[in-house]
Amino acid sequence: MFHSVSANRRKRWYSLLTIGQKKMLVLAGVFIALLFAGVAVMVVYTCRALQYDVSRVSSGCGVSLLYDAQNRPVADLSGSESEYVPWNQFPKHLVDAFVAREDESFFEHGGVVYSSVVRSLVKNLLSMSYEQGASTITMQLTRHVFELGGKTLDRKLLEAMLAQRIERHVDKQTIFAQYLNRIYFGQNCYGIGAAARHYFGKPVSDLDLVESATLAGLVRAPSLCNPRRSMDNAMGVKKETLARMLELEMITPKQHDTALSAPIHLAPIEKTARVNSSYAAMWAGMELEAIRADLGDNTRGLSVVSNLNLDIQQYLEQATERALCAVEKAGAFPAEWGELLGEEAEAQSKYFATVKRPAGLKVRGNDNDFTGVLQACVLVVDTRRNKKGNVLGVVGGRSVYDGIDRWQHSVKPGRAMAPLLFCCACLPGGDEFHIVARDTEVTGLRLGYEVVRSFFDSLHLGISLPPRERERDLYNGLYSMKLLDMARLLFDVQNQGRDYKLNIVQTVWSNGQKALYSYEPEKASEYICRQSAVAVSRLSPFVYSEGVPLFMNETLPQNHGQWSMVCNERGVTVFVWMGFDDIKSASAASPELRRLMSRASLNLAREVHARARAILRAEKVEKPASLKPQS
């Protein structure tokens, strides 16, 4: 009886509630549970945020450094554009443009706009993807200063808590200035100072409304929307930024209309070229641009570990200048060549001393004017097992201060590209026996234009080949090709036709010693038929004899300079180009100077090759390139 009464009492108590009241109780319970969960999450992430040192926000942006394979500093990757631009140098319309585009309530919120976070969360849940970030400028700065991982809810919550901590300890002006000095603007420009100079050739304080709106618009897609790559995209983001500024009453309708119709005037690229500290830094910068998507937001203060060998790099820079001086000046025959040439040394030294140089030959002076002087570029590539294609050293001209990498220049290769034609002739299969003659024209005519053209097209060289009516130009190498492509193709021929990427960057470490990128070489595919490449690798114009490194030394047609190559298996390959930027100059056309360049170019290639091999043999312990650089 007692149990029956107790059960009835509980039933009568619960039955007093209506269905609506019961639902309200359930909802209240869910709300309280969610509230407690939310509080717990905030406590957890607040505690995690306390572990970060917010003073790093105000400590500057950091300098990126390039290291060699043994973690020795090689060069500063920040160049002359790494200075910090303070708040008081920002024009009002520049600040307004970024606030309108990125965070309209920046000067009012405390680091996080919760309504935007909720809206973003709902949209992402509905789409089951990460479509919207709801990041304030402070939250974006947080990502640049601290390493918080990828696009996850965990990172977003931690980012929000850190942003609030930053807002409590750092003033708005410093936050904004640090943000603009850290973000990426495309074209290898990090920070507003580099962007203003690169695109418009002026300091930040002189930027006008059009330029400010353009820079504010491109930061969401810097590689696609920068005006040097796509003016149409840049005009589009400028229009969007101006419309947003007008909507927020930051500019008047007249200012909007004037700026909208105004073109984007870019400064000439030669006047804004970034000054690199070395050609190695220039090459590393180009590779970093290509892998920028892998680096995320932590793009300042990087440590870039490369495949370079500092000893080889320093030696070839000095050897290149000695070789050029030997061509320019009668009494500058290098002693290093005397040791290299043996019995030939005396004859060559006399030849270099007695040959008459052109009267108008310009030699390098003490200033930074390198126009019209003799130039050379040198590339040292590893051919050892499991290291093939690693760039050990590079020089792209007389001085890095002219901002020109001559490996990107196009020349007519002439007979230097004969091995490609011969590879076509040696392709297996078919009913006829093809021939390889010393005369490339004879070989090409025997093969036929369609066969040769089809083979060249299969290599995806990205060059304009002569049409059928000029087929002899195709066989004789009278088409334009980049020097770097020449080096890569000849390297592949000498390495069984496999396609090797000539790369410098191995590992990229963030300022907080986190690996952002690591080069993982794929197994080199067969780019040129192996059977053909092996057959051609010892044929002319390659010069080969047992016990002596294989070499090539070709004078390029139409005053395009001198090309030399020295290589051996499981050692190094050295490529050298020597010539003039202006092929129409009297110096470039001088027969005497061409003969001097022929000897100097090959001597330089042999000297660097011998020295590089000696340096590699002397290395007793090789440190892997993935090691963190030493502080």
Domain ranges, ordered by start, for the chain: 2-49, 78-276
Statement: residue 80 has pLDDT above 60: no
Tokens of 138: 């402070």
- On whether the CB atoms of residues 200 and 185 are closer than 8 A, the answer is no
Exposed/middle/buried for residue 464 (C-beta within 10 Å: 0-12, 13-18, 19+)? exposed
Beta bridge partner(s), residue 565 = 552, 575
- On whether the CB atoms of residues 144 and 512 are closer than 8 A, the answer is no
The Cα-based distances of 411 to 395, 416, 584, 605 in angstroms read 17, 11, 13, 19
Highest CATH level, class, for 78-276: mainly alpha
- For range 27-35, the mean pLDDT: 76
State the pLDDT at residue 430: 53
The Cα-based distances of 347 to 184, 324, 330, 333, 342 in angstroms read 56, 19, 14, 11, 10
In this predicted model, which residue has the larger pLDDT, 63 or 194?
Answer: 194
State the pLDDT at residue 628: 60
State the pLDDT at residue 597: 96
The pLDDT confidence band at residue 2, using thresholds 50, 70 and 90, is: very low
Whole-angstrom distance, CA of residue 502 vs CA of residue 488 = 7
Tokens of 378: 């040198």
- For range 138-162, the mean pLDDT: 76
Whole-angstrom distance, CA of residue 199 vs CA of residue 212 = 11
State the pLDDT at residue 512: 67
In this predicted model, which residue has the larger pLDDT, 65 or 20?
Answer: 65
For 281-330, the pLDDT digits (tens) are: 889 988 888 887 777 666 667 889 999 999 999 999 999 999 999 999 99
State the pLDDT at residue 183: 86
Whole-angstrom distance, CA of residue 494 vs CA of residue 535 = 10
Sorted by sequence, the CB contacts under 8 Å of residue 138 that are 6+ apart come out as: 103, 106, 111, 112, 163, 166, 167, 175, 179
Exposed/middle/buried for residue 431 (C-beta within 10 Å: 0-12, 13-18, 19+)? exposed
Sorted by sequence, the CB contacts under 8 Å of residue 47 that are 6+ apart come out as: none
For 6-28, the pLDDT digits (tens) are: 555 555 555 666 666 667 777 77
Please provide the average confidence, as pLDDT, over all residues in the chain: 84
Sorted by sequence, the CB contacts under 8 Å of residue 328 that are 6+ apart come out as: 357, 361, 363, 364, 374
- For range 545-565, the mean pLDDT: 93
pLDDT-above-90 percentage for the chain: 46
The Cα-based distances of 100 to 182, 212, 224, 288, 599 in angstroms read 19, 11, 21, 30, 63
Tokens of 393: 């050293």
Statement: residue 490 has pLDDT above 90: yes
For 331-372, the pLDDT digits (tens) are: 899 999 988 888 899 999 999 999 999 888 988 877 777 889
Three-class SS state of 378: strand
Amino acid letter at 8? N
Q: Say if pTM beats, i.e. exceeds, 0.85.
A: no
Phi (first) and psi of residue 563, to 5 degrees: -120, 130
